[in-house]
Every structure is written in structure tokens, then in C-alpha cells.
Amino acid sequence: MKPDRSDFIDEPLIHRLLAETAATPRAEIERIIDKAAAAKGLDLSEVAALIQLEDETLRARMFETALAIKQRIYGRRLVLFAPLYLSSYCINDCAYCGYHKGSDAVRKRLTMDEIRDEVKALEALGHKRLMLDMGEDPVATPIDYVLEAMKTIYETQDTKGEIRRVNVQIAATTVEDYRRLKEAGTGTYVLFQETFHRETYARMHRKGPKHNYDWHVTALDRAMQGGIDDVGTGVLYGLYDYRFEVVAQMMLVQHLEQTFGVGPHTISFPRLRAASGVDLTTFPHLVSDADFKTIVAVLRLAVPYTGMIISTREDPAFRGEIIDLGVSQMSAGSCVGVGGYKAKLDAFARGERPPEPDSTPQFHVHDDRTPDEILRHICESGYIPSYCTACYRNGRTGDRFMELAKSGRIQNTCEPNAILTFKEYLVDYASPETRAVGEKTIEKHLAEIPSAAIRRQTAKGLKAIEEGKRDIFY
Ligand code: SF4
Ligand code: SF4
């Protein structure tokens, strides 16, 4: 084990693989796609070949395979969550972020009372799963602040619901801090590498603790050593050549598998967006929609068992296209500034669009539909929304989860849990239009459960929810 060494990201090897596979023959590409269709993953050189694919017919075939893999493993459910930004104070100087030190962002840090108000608003929007996010500032937001915030969130209940899972995205830290986060009830710990390219990383992270590439790229090792067995990774696409980043992302995946026997629980795909004080024309590696689709599809083929997350950085129409490439989780109704959910909920109740936040957002959101509108759209697209948090609460984490995901047996729990948690949403929070569309979606997905016993049990759960029971899960 090499927790403090980042040499598993082998830059010369990445460049060599990309050069060697730049003109991969059609027959070989077809072989790679056929291999991926068995959902057994791909090796580095196969990933390097696919990420450079330009032939439209082969790309279309790759996209179809990506969707088929996602459906085979996770079914047609889409898990929903909301980010909760606790603080925009930050001592780092990341060139692409509206919160960087020295920007003129209006800073804010939520008090525990404000966190309670935000959580109640999130619960009233139907959310059950949060992603905590904040800038890095050991004075404004030390680890004790994060732990107290988590306790506050888990203790805050609305009349109809509660937050059942808190995932955490905070700066790279020590094994001891990760251990404390785990004890406080962290689900998945997420840390984006932003860019795996060392020279670009140094240029983008000009000052502050995040400047240290080695400390950052080995953070997921320390999280695992601290007992967090579900970790999430991601690249901020647009900082450096996406072909390099995707092969490097796979190197991190392989490193985690080889070192801990478990790959990442999630991979995210944030794409660089405009933000306060960030001029996109100074970034030469921005990723087009077409290339972004290739990135998502290749990673779905390469790491079939992993949850893939898309955020509100993408606009609604494009999010729809990306979902068809194998995305399994998405955020909905997000506020990407500090605070704002309570104001948003009040505005929705008055039938208005949400007001401008009173602190600067981290980046500009491209999907500002309400969760209710998003859910309706998910149903109309043939998917079923899910607020499931069952694996974490049933101890199906780390290698126990991976075993089920890799074999595709996870679907036996994903589908019933999606149906039951979506039913709770429909009964407790949905608008009449969404309820009408949603009930049809539930009927259809219930009928498609292959096992008669699971179907009967799920139908019993639906009846119990109608009668007032909540939080039924498998
Ligand atoms: Fe701070 Fe994170 Fe923004 Fe960097 S990306 S400036 S660490 S909030
Ligand atoms: Fe996620 Fe597990 Fe629920 Fe499936 S059953 S949606 S993998 S928490």
C-alpha cells in the first residue's frame, strides 16, 4: 500500500497508450465494445482506444452498449439527491472556481439554525439524500463544524420526512478526520481530482493546501483507511485534454481496486462552467457536447458497476441525452450557493421562480426546474425516480455492495426500492400532474419486476404506504 505516493498515475504510460491506440482498426474497436457488453470492464489500452473514437456508427454502437449495461446492472431507476453548500469561505485559489481566495464572492457560512431551516426545506421538496459541500477553511469550517452539521442534519425531521443519507464532499484530509466522518454517518465520501495532469493541476491550484497534488490524489486512500468504504471520484472536464483525463481516471479506479479490493462507488462528470471571476475563454480544453457524451459512455463501459452522477451544470435537454448513456444518479432542484433552499421553497409555494441567492454561487446552474418538474420528466422519459438509501442503511457498502453490483443482482433491490420511495414522494409531496404520471410509472415498473415474489412484496409495500407507513426498504 502506498498511501502517500501518487505514482499510480503514470503520465508517460497514458501518453504512450493514447499514441499507440490513436488509429485502432474498426474490427478491434468492435471487439472492445463486444467485450464491454458483457459488463466485465475494460483495460487501460481499450479505454484509450475508445476515448479517441470518431467514427459515428461505432460511437452510436458504443452509446447503445452503455445504456444496455446500465439497465442490466441498475435497471431504469435514477437516484436523486441535492447538494447542500455549507460555506463558501475558502483558502484555496482554484482558477476555475467562483469561491477562490481573492475572488469578490459574497461569502457565507451556515449556522446550525440555518442548516436546520435548509434541511427542512429540502425535506419538504421530498429529498432524502444530501451531498454536503463547502470550501476549505480550517478556521471557518474545521472538521468539528462538519461533524456538528451532520448531527444537525440527521436530527432535523420535517413532519413528513427525514434525510436518510448524508454524503460528504470536503477537502482532502487525514485518516483520523475520515474516521470521524465515518463515525458521524457519512455515506459516500467524494473528492474530485479536478485534473490528473500534474502540470495543469499546479497551474489551476495556485495557492493553498489544495496545491499539493500528491496529498489530493491520495485522499481516497486515506478515506478508505479511515473506514469509509464508499468513495466517489471525478474530473472537472475542461481543465485539460479529456482523453488524458479519462485514462488517468481509470488508473485511479484500478489503483483502488488493487489496493482495497473495491473500486469507486461513484464517478461524477462535472464540466467546467462560467463562474464569478472565471473567464472561460482562458481555458483551451473546454469539452464539446459530442465529446462529453463519449466520456460518459466510455466510463460506463469501463467501470460498469459504478454509480455515475450528472449535475445541474448541464441543461435539461442535454441531461436527458446523457441519462441514456448510463447515468444512474442526478441532482435535482439544486442551490449551488450557500443557503437558498428555504427561499426557493417559499417561492415555489407562491408559484414563482426562485429568487437570486444572497451569496455568490460556486458556478452557474443550467437546470433550474423544480424537483417535481424533473421527476415528471424522468417518468415521461421511461425511467423511474428513486429516493432510495437502502444499501447504506442495510450495511451493503464497500465489497458487499460491489459483489451485488458486479453480478447485476443489485437490481433486485434497486427496482423495488425505487418504486417504494417514489410512491412516498407521490403521496407526500407531488403536484397532481406529477402524481398522475408517477402512478402510471409505478404500475409499469411493478409489472416489469421479473420475480413474482418480489413483485408481490413490493405491491404489499405500496399498499402500506397508502395506509400511512413510511421508510420501507430492502
Ligand atoms: Fe475552494 Fe473548492 Fe472552490 Fe477550490 S474548488 S476554490 S477548494 S471551493
Ligand atoms: Fe442505490 Fe442500493 Fe438503493 Fe440500489 S438499492 S438505489 S444501489 S442504495
Q: How far is the CA of 156 from the centre of ligand 1 (A)?
A: 28
pLDDT at 70 over 80: yes
In sequence order, the 6+-apart residues with CB closer than 8 A to the CB of 278 are: 95, 96, 97, 98
Q: Looking at per-residue confidence, does 321 or 334 come out higher?
A: 321
Q: Of 58-62, 111-115, 308-312, which gets the smallest average pLDDT?
A: 308-312
Instruction: Average the pLDDT over each of 118-122, 236-240, 316-320 and give the range with the smallest value.
Output: 316-320
Q: Which CATH architecture has domain 75-369?
A: Alpha-Beta Barrel (3.20)
pTM, full prediction: 0.94
CA distance 184 to 131: 14
Query: In the prediction, which pLDDT does 402 show?
Result: 79
The pLDDT of residue 103: 84
CA distance readout (Å), 49 to 106, 196, 243: 45, 19, 10
Ligand nearest 208 Cα, by number? 1
Quick check: CB of 413 below 6 Å from ligand 2?
yes
Helix, strand, or coil (residue 50): helix
Ligand in nearest proximity to the CA of 204:
1
Q: What is the DSSP string of 400-464?
A: HHHHHHHHTTTHHHHHHHHHHHHHHHHHHT--HHHHHHHHHHHHHHHHH-S-HHHHHHHHHHHHH
Question: If you measure from the C-alpha of residue 388 to the centroid of ligand 2, how many angstroms do you get, rounded to a whole number?
Answer: 6
Q: Whole-angstrom Cα distance, residue 394 to residue 231? A: 17
> Which one, of 368, 385, 376, 369, lies nearest residue 330 by Cα?
385
Cα(83) to centroid of ligand 2, in Å?
18
Q: From ligand 2's centre to the CA of 386, what distance in Å?
A: 9
Ligand 2 pocket, 384 CB below 6 A? no
- Atom of ligand 1 minimally distant from the CA of 90: 1
* Per-residue pLDDT, 359: 61
Nearest bound ligand to the CA of residue 275:
1
User: Is the shortest distance between the CB of 266 and ligand 2 below 6 Å?
Assistant: no
Q: What is the spatial distance between Cα 66 and Cα 58, in angstroms, rounded to a whole number?
A: 12
* Every domain of the chain and the residues it spans: 11-69, 75-369, 390-466
- Which pLDDT score is estimated for 196? 98
C-alpha cell at 168: 460528504
Rounded to an integer, the average pLDDT of 1-26 is 88
229 CB neighbour count, 10 Å cutoff: 20
C-alpha cell at 460: 404489499
Residue 352: pLDDT over 80: no
Helices (H), 231-350: 242-260, 289-302, 316-323, 341-349
Which of 245, 234, 315, 303 has its CA nearest to residue 270?
Answer: 234
- Ligand 1, atom 2, residue with closest C-alpha: 135
As given in the structure block, the three cell numbers for residue 299 are 466510463
Mutate which of 78, 329, 417 for ligand 2 pocket (most atoms within 8 A of beta carbon): 417
Confidence of residue 354 (pLDDT cuts 50, 70, 90): low
Ligand 2 atom nearest residue 413's Cα: 5
For residue 360, is pLDDT > 70? no
100, 93 Cβ separation under 8 angstroms: yes
Ligand 1 pocket (Cβ < 6 Å) reads 90, 92, 94, 97, 99-100, 135-136, 210
With a CB cutoff of 8 Å and minimum separation 6, the contacts of 209 are 91, 92, 136, 171, 172, 215
Q: What pLDDT shows up at residue 361? A: 62
Distances (CA, A) of 258 to 108, 120, 221, 252, 255: 41, 41, 11, 10, 5
Report the distance separating Cα 401 and Cα 31, nearest Å.
29
Q: Rounded mean pLDDT of the chain?
A: 91
Output the CA 95–ligand 1 centroid distance in Å.
Answer: 9
Is pLDDT at 369 greater than 90 in this prediction? no
Taking the centre of ligand 1 as the mean of its atom positions, its distance from the CA of residue 103, in whole angstroms, is: 11
Residue with CA at minimum distance from ligand 2 atom 4: 414
> Per residue in 418-457, pLDDT tens?
999 999 999 999 999 999 999 999 999 999 998 999 999 9
pLDDT score, position 2: 46
Helix (H) / strand (E) element for 187: namely: strand 186-190
The mean per-residue pLDDT over the stretch 228-240 comes to 96
Q: Is the CB of residue 186 less than 8 Å from the CB of residue 223?
A: no
Minimum CA distance residue for ligand 2 atom 6: 414
Ligand 1 mean position to 266 CA, how many Å? Answer: 20
Q: pLDDT of 265-301, one tens digit each?
A: 999 999 998 777 788 899 999 999 999 999 999 999 9
Choose from 95-104, 254-263, 346-355 the range with maximum mean pLDDT: 254-263
Q: What is the pLDDT of residue 213?
A: 97
How many angstroms is it from 161 CA to the middle of ligand 2? Answer: 19
The residue behind cell 443557503 is 339
